[in-house]
């Protein structure tokens, strides 16, 4: 599947009205996180195709030095993301801003944002992170879901492209629909999530065979089923 087709798949699974609250940029980010989730699992078998991000734990003071920040222009980072659910490998995306005024605007509006500055590179956050409890990742290199290449296929085994898009639907798009309007989308999400949850178990079982030659060794398809109303 091309990236544009993966986006279309998510839209199709979420229904026509989802286009009112989901844009293509969000789909790109959700598919990126779903792809990275499975590439981490491929790494165990030496088959990962994804560039390695730079992880770090931000200081509670909101600012500090970026690991490996010498000679790297992090202001051109492709994106930064923040781990919000380790058990299910769910991430939120952090806006990369260009100057202190944009960072202040993010602070005032309650948005997650990061400013990179100086040499070696320092960072400043728009929020106060929990002490030694948050994980951020900086994606500096071109990745297999480059937003400028929606007409291309991601660097991932083609037989599993739909699995990636299904995870993006279940763990990102559908919770987003509920967050936007639970009354409007609730019944639909509940029904669709049950169907897709069953489908992705079979897909991930096949994925385990691909990685290790036997099902379940990576444990991915044994993951707890997605509950669209358990979003606390």
pLDDT tens string 74-110: 655 667 888 888 887 788 888 888 899 999 999 999 9
Phi, then psi, of 181 in degrees rounded to 5: -165, 85
Helix axes 3-14, 161-168, angle to 10 degrees: 50
Here the contacts of 211-215 (C-beta below 8 Å, separation 24 or greater) are 211/41, 211/42, 211/44, 211/45, 211/47, 212/45
pTM of the model: 0.61
| Token pair 């699974």 in the structure block, residue | 13
Q: Return d(Cα 151, Cα 60) in angstroms, integer.
A: 41
Domain boundaries, the chain: 3-49+154-212, 54-141
For 192-232, write each residue's pLDDT tens digit. Answer: 999 999 999 999 999 988 887 644 443 333 344 444 444 43
């Amino acid at each position: 599947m091309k990236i544009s087709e993966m986006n279309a798949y998510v839209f199709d699974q979420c229904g026509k009205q989802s286009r009112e609250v989901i844009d293509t940029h969000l789909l790109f980010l959700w598919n990126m996180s779903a792809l990275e989730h499975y590439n981490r699992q491929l790494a165990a078998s030496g088959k990962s195709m994804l560039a390695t991000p730079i992880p770090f734990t931000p200081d509670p003071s909101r600012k500090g030095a970026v690991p490996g920040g010498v000679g790297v222009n992090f202001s051109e980072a492709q994106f930064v993301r923040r781990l919000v659910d380790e058990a299910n490998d769910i991430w939120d995306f952090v806006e990369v801003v260009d100057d202190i005024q944009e960072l202040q605007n993010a602070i005032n509006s309650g948005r997650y944002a990061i400013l990179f500055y100086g040499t070696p590179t320092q960072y400043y956050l728009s929020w106060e992170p929990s002490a030694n409890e948050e994980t951020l990742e900086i994606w500096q290199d071109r990745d297999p879901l480059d937003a400028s290449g929606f007409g291309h296929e991601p660097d991932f085994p083609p037989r599993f492209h739909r699995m990636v898009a299904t995870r993006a639907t279940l763990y990102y798009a559908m919770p987003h629909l509920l967050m936007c309007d639970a009354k409007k989308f609730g019944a639909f999400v509940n029904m669709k999530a049950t169907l897709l949850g069953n489908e992705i178990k079979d897909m991930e079982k096949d994925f385990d065979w691909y990685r290790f030659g036997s099902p379940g060794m990576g444990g991915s398809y044994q993951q707890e089923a997605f509950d669209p109303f358990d979003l606390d």
